[in-house]
Amino acid sequence: MTTLSPSAAPGTLRYQLAEFWGSFSASRGALVGLLFITFILLIALFAPWVAPHDPALQNRDAFLVPPVWHAEGSWRYVLGTDAVGRDVLSRLIHGARFSLSISAMVVVLSMAVGIFLGLLAGYFRGWLETVITRLMDVVLAFPSLLLALGLVAVLSPGLTSAMIAIALVQLPYFVRLTRAAVIGEKDREYVTASRLAGAGHGRLMFNTLLPNCMAPLIVQATLSFSTAILDIAALGFLGMGVQPPTPEWGAMLANAREFMGSAYWAVTFPGLVILLTVLMINLMGDGLRDALDPKLKRS
Amino acid sequence: MIKFIFIKLAQLIPTFIGVTIVAFSFIRLLPGDPILLMAGERGISAERYAVLEAQLGFDRPLIAQYFDFIGNLLQGDLGTSLVTHAPVMSEFMNRFPATLELSLFALLFAVIVGLPAGVLAATRRGTFIDHSVMGVSLTGYSMPIFWWGLLLIMLFSSTLGWTPVSGRISYLYFIEPVTGLLTIDTLLAGNWDAFRSALHYLILPGIVLGTIPMAVIARQTRSSMLEVLGEDYVRTARAKGLSSFRVIMVHALRNALITVVTVIGLQVGVLLAGAILTETIFSWPGIGKWMIDAISRRDYPAVQGGLVLIAFIVMLVNLLVDVAYGVINPRIRH
């Protein structure tokens, strides 16, 4: 007699995880994305140890030093320096901390509030639903960046305002998805069973319904994460986000802009890092969608 | 159909009210005294303060202020800019054609490149072409367009000297505005050199702004085409012996376009948000750059007016998309 390994038993969490991993890792793009994101996260986490220089240190002997592959470049500043002699690579590494942590907070904030409002709207329906969906329509009527800019102007430019503004702009997507998912699940047998067993509103919403509505929300979370990185950088670029001398990718681009003609590296690398990070998150998001939501599967 | 349009219009009313409340609250939510804030660091005399307070109506009850705001808004009065002392409405209208021209060109670029690319990828599914189109479109979709703009300027303007860096047309030409769209006005005036100049200035910012919509359109076209190509009527058309070009162009694409048209319509918000960045990079004298300038100069009436007008444009276009969708796909109307 052979014993079944516990991981093979359908219905268990381990089985589900294995199944998820199976379809996620089937996509090469998704795996590459995951690896890259893990790499960037580790770099961000260990930034002070990984970065070769202090990101704020201005070296007077090294203004606009080109990257190492130029004749005038040196291994001391692998990706060159900016106009005040700061190491571009070190600033990029430290910048990852800001971009990733602010974006992560944006997603958490937006997702938490969005799920709550979406659950309320989908579960209770009626006037509450009308009010919530109309409010979200108002948010959607403004182009996202414009609304964020307006909010930042009200709240005064800075890290926290940028975070709140972008979280608000992302909110309607989470609300709409949660609401739609809840409405779809609400009349299923397991929910009725739970209600008959005496579960209250809170328990029904958060313990019964929510776990079964998570798949599209997780996919949306990765999408929001990449959008947040772009928006934070855009606000930084416009001078409305993280304030100097904080090494933030968008702000780095804005500072380097006037030296565009003479120092391409100061412009090229921050943008390249933004593009790569966003691209890899989107690749991973596509894989997640295929693995979590067979209905949405890309044909 | 008329009923459908009216229902859609009625549904816009709460959003309209919401948008006006947001814009109205905007100045009043500023931390501190808005009038002192607007005056900036130079400070303000007591008389000027009183004048401004009366002009902005801040001495009246809040609810009365809101109804004043709505009343003025419905008459097209959005107050005056604190910087130029010109009506916000006319400031907006002066710059809107520039943004419209840029956005239309961007959308044209996005459709001309994105649509065929999507069709090609769908018909050559799984091949190198498909993977390349999808790779490029995912990259375009992930593009920080402010950086993309700078890169293109570095390459085409600074290094190759092919395109100008900023502005809408060479200062050598003065074109009497008719539509406000320089490419059309120059053609109406029959001035080919000026038209070429306007196009020259338009091409780079247009491509930058059109990059994300292009990527979205290519992806959407591909997936709708794939869906449609699997339908029975496409198989029937093939079985009838029609050429595969005809099957794809006439039978499949027409039906795939239903969803693509909606997606194209939804790009308007994306375009307006992108216009803020694109116009800043290329010093394009449109409403995006105007809004950024207004925010940094603390010209709050201008920001408030801009917020309302842009939101109206987005709402209006979304309504048109809804209606167009109802026309193409009658099932929606019921």
pLDDT tens column, A29-79: 889 999 999 999 999 998 888 888 888 777 777 777 788 788 777 777 778
Q: Does A115 reside within a domain?
A: yes
Q: Is A28 exposed, middle or buried (0-12, 13-18, 19+ CB in 10 A)?
A: exposed
pLDDT tier for residue B95 given thresholds of 50, 70 and 90: very high
**Phi, psi torsion values for A208, nearest 5 degrees:** -95, -55
Location of structure tokens 């047309």: B169
pLDDT above 60 for A8:
no
User: DSSP assignment of chain A, as one string?
Assistant: -PPPPGGGSTTSHHHHHHHHHHHHHT-HHHHHHHHHHHHHHHHHHTHHHH-SS-TT---TT-TTPPPTTSTT--GGGTT-B-TTS-BHHHHHHHHHHHHHHHHHHHHHHHHHHHHHHHHHHHHH-HHHHHHHHHHHHHHHHS-HHHHHHHHHHHH-SSHHHHHHHHHHHHHHHHHHHHHHHHHHHTTSHHHHHHHHTT--HHHIIIIIIGGGGHHHHHHHHHHHHHHHHHHHHHHHHTTSSSPTTS--HHHHHHHHGGGTTT-HHHHHHHHHHHHHHHHHHHHHHHHHHHHH-GGG---
pLDDT tier for residue B222 given thresholds of 50, 70 and 90: very high
pLDDT above 90 for A281:
yes
A157 vs B: CB within 8 A: no
| CATH code of the domain in which A192 resides | 1.10.3720.10
Residues of B in contact with A265 (CB under 8 A): none
Number of structural domains (chain A) is 1
User: Taking CB atoms and an 8 Å limit, are A153 and B142 in contact across chains?
Assistant: no
The residue among A270, A290, A255 whose CA lies nearest residue A33 is A290
Q: Which of residues 226-255 of B touch A (CB under 8 A)?
A: 226-227, 230
User: What pLDDT score was predicted for residue A2?
Assistant: 47
Type of residue at A59: N
A271 vs B: CB within 8 A: yes
Cβ A94 vs Cβ A51: under 8 Å: yes
B272 vs A: CB within 8 A: yes
pLDDT tier for residue B41 given thresholds of 50, 70 and 90: low
User: What pLDDT score was predicted for residue A159?
Assistant: 82
A279 vs B: CB within 8 A: yes
Q: Does A147 reside within a domain?
A: yes
ipTM of the complex: 0.84
Cβ B205 vs Cβ B279: under 8 Å: yes
Q: Which of residues 101-160 of B touch A (CB under 8 A)?
A: 138-139, 141-144, 146-148, 150-151, 153-154, 158
B313 vs A: CB within 8 A: no
User: What pLDDT score was predicted for residue A4?
Assistant: 47
pTM higher than 0.95, yes or no?
Answer: no
Higher pLDDT, B3 or B95: B95
Q: Does A159 reside within a domain?
A: yes
pLDDT tens column, A147-182: 888 888 788 777 888 899 899 999 999 999 999 999
Residues of A in contact with B211 (CB under 8 A): none
Q: Does A6 reside within a domain?
A: no
Taking CA–CA distances from B14, the nearest residue in chain A reads A134
Taking CA–CA distances from B148, the nearest residue in chain A reads A271
Q: Does A50 reside within a domain?
A: yes
User: What pLDDT score was predicted for residue B32?
Assistant: 64
Cβ A280 vs Cβ A32: under 8 Å: yes
Task: Say which of B19, B269, B296 has its CB closest to residue A138.
Answer: B19
pLDDT tens column, B76-89: 888 888 788 889 99
Q: What is the dihedral of CA B87, A237, B20, B297, to 10 degrees?
A: -30
Q: Does A2 reside within a domain?
A: no
pLDDT tier for residue A299 given thresholds of 50, 70 and 90: very low
Residues of A in contact with B276 (CB under 8 A): 143, 145-146, 149, 238
Q: Does A5 reside within a domain?
A: no
Task: Say which of A141, A264, A268 has its CB closest to residue B314.
Answer: A141
B269 vs A: CB within 8 A: yes
Domain that holds residue A78: 13-292
The structure tokens listed for A236 are 């930084």
Q: Does A1 reside within a domain?
A: no
